[in-house]
Amino acid sequence: GAELFREVRAAFGVTDEAFLAALGIRQVLGGLLLGDARSLAERVSEGRSGSLFYYSHDNRFMAKTVSEEEARTLRRMLRAYHAYVLKHPDTLLMRVLGLFEIGHAGRPYRLVVMSNVFCTRLPIHERFDLKGSTYQRTVGAGRRGLPGLVHRDVDFAEMGREIRINDPALGPRLRRQICLDAAFLERHGVIDYSLLIGIHHRAPPGPPPAPKVDRLLG
């Protein structure tokens, strides 16, 4: 598995050195082994599922704790995932870069490491997790727009958000890639997945500059 993950990272342009240095995985695993969560507290958050998320210091990578079943599913799919990302470098599937499993005091820790899709040159102002369903898919009207909140399908619609693709060549290419990715997940029995969207709001144009007025002093 290690060599397959190394080739996956290389396909996504991530070297082993950059990966370990940016993530600080040695500190993460060391902190877990020592039971020292304080040094990680500022970079760890808890998701809705109860999983812990750890973000690298440069925000490029994130590590998520996963269950034994999730880790087993990933190991089962790894060879196929490896072949798929090498064949489809433009895939929109989550970029899974490593799976680590350690034990301490009789308790197993499993961490899957991924690229952070929201680490971009421009700041992300709104985040959406879309599943194509409206059942319990809202954060609530009163919470919409809170910084860092991940909104859902109903919020996307009621906030008036939409996806416009002005490039006539990009639209078909994007749809084709989404279909290929969904078909890959279907072949491997994965049904609980979603489309993550980040929105950057352009700054509204400011007022025109005030006209310059020359004053004659006499």
Is 109 found in the same domain as 137? Answer: no
Please report the pLDDT score of residue 16 as a whole number: 85
On whether residue 208 sits in a domain, the answer given is: no
Closest listed residue to residue 154, CA positions, set 169, 133, 170 = 133
Which structural domain range is residue 142 located in? 126-199
**Rounded to the nearest 5 degrees, what angle is found at the Cα of 159, between the Cα atoms of 119 and 165?**
60
Please report the pLDDT score of residue 217 as a whole number: 42
On whether residue 216 sits in a domain, the answer given is: no
The answer to whether the beta carbons of residues 43 and 55 sit under 8 Å apart is yes
Is 78 found in the same domain as 31? Answer: yes
Please report the pLDDT score of residue 136 as a whole number: 93
Kindly give the parts of the chain with pLDDT less than 50: 32-46, 214-218
Q: Which helix (H) or strand (E) holds 46?
A: strand 44-46
Question: Whole-model pTM?
Answer: 0.78
The answer to whether the beta carbons of residues 173 and 88 sit under 8 Å apart is no
Please report the pLDDT score of residue 29 as a whole number: 55
Please report the pLDDT score of residue 181 as a whole number: 97
Please report the pLDDT score of residue 143 as a whole number: 94
On whether residue 217 sits in a domain, the answer given is: no
Please report the pLDDT score of residue 192 as a whole number: 84
Is 48 found in the same domain as 150? Answer: no
